[in-house]
């Protein structure tokens, strides 16, 4: 996966051991805009729609993420509420989840992981 391509085998193992697997069905809400950010998500299978409402009454789809993509980093890195709702777009979605403490630990102990996350985070701004 692109996210892990610059990590050492030890760094990958450290992060992977802390991830928990979750499954969602189509249209399930994974995270909700405005909620506190407590987890980071890496998509293992399926696709996820990113919906933003902001000031508009109806949400609009701003992106569709696929296997290997991740989301949820913004709220954790900036310590702000979620800026989008993410829903399962395909029939089955499998994600790997890091809680806030494990995400922070991984970012702080691996410069490569931190650089990868920050690069995508800033592109999404």
> Residues 97-106: pLDDT tens digits?
999 999 998 8
**Does 1 have pLDDT greater than 90?**
no
Which pLDDT value is given to residue 82?
95
**Does 55 have pLDDT greater than 80?**
no
Higher-pLDDT residue of 125, 93: 93
Mean pLDDT of 16-28: 95
Looking at the 3D structure of the chain, how many domains does it have?
Answer: 1
Q: pTM of the prediction?
A: 0.89
Kind plus residue range of the DSSP H or E element containing 88: strand 85-88
Residue partners of 106: CB distance under 8 A and separation at least 6? 14, 15, 18, 98, 113
Percent of the chain whose pLDDT exceeds 70: 98
Which pLDDT value is given to residue 41?
96
Domain around 79:
2-123
Interval 76-112: pLDDT, tens: 988 999 999 999 999 999 999 999 999 998 888 888 7
Number of H helices, E strands in the chain: 4, 8
What is the bridge-based pairing of β-strands 20-25 and 47-52? Answer: unpaired
Distance of CA 112 to the CA centre of its chain: 17
How far are the Cα atoms of 53, 54, 56, 77, 85 from residue 43, in angstroms, in the given order? 22, 24, 28, 19, 15
Residue 10 belongs to domain with CATH number: 2.60.120.10
Instruction: Please list the alpha-helical segments (H only) found in 20-70.
Output: none
Among residues 66, 52, 70, the alpha carbon closest in space to that of 107 is found at: 70
């Amino acid at each position: 996966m692109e996210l892990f391509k610059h990590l050492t085998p030890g760094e990958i193992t450290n992060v992977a051991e802390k991830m928990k697997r979750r499954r969602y069905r189509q249209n399930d809400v994974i995270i909700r805009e405005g909620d506190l950010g407590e987890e980071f998500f890496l998509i293992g299978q399926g696709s996820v729609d990113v919906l933003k409402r902001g000031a508009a009454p109806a949400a609009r789809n701003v992106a569709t993420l696929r296997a290997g993509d991740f989301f949820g980093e913004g709220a954790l890195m900036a310590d702000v509420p979620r800026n989008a709702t993410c829903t399962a777009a395909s029939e089955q979605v499998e994600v790997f989840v890091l809680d806030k403490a494990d995400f922070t630990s991984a970012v702080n102990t691996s410069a490569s992981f931190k650089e990868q996350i920050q690069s995508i985070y800033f592109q999404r701004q």
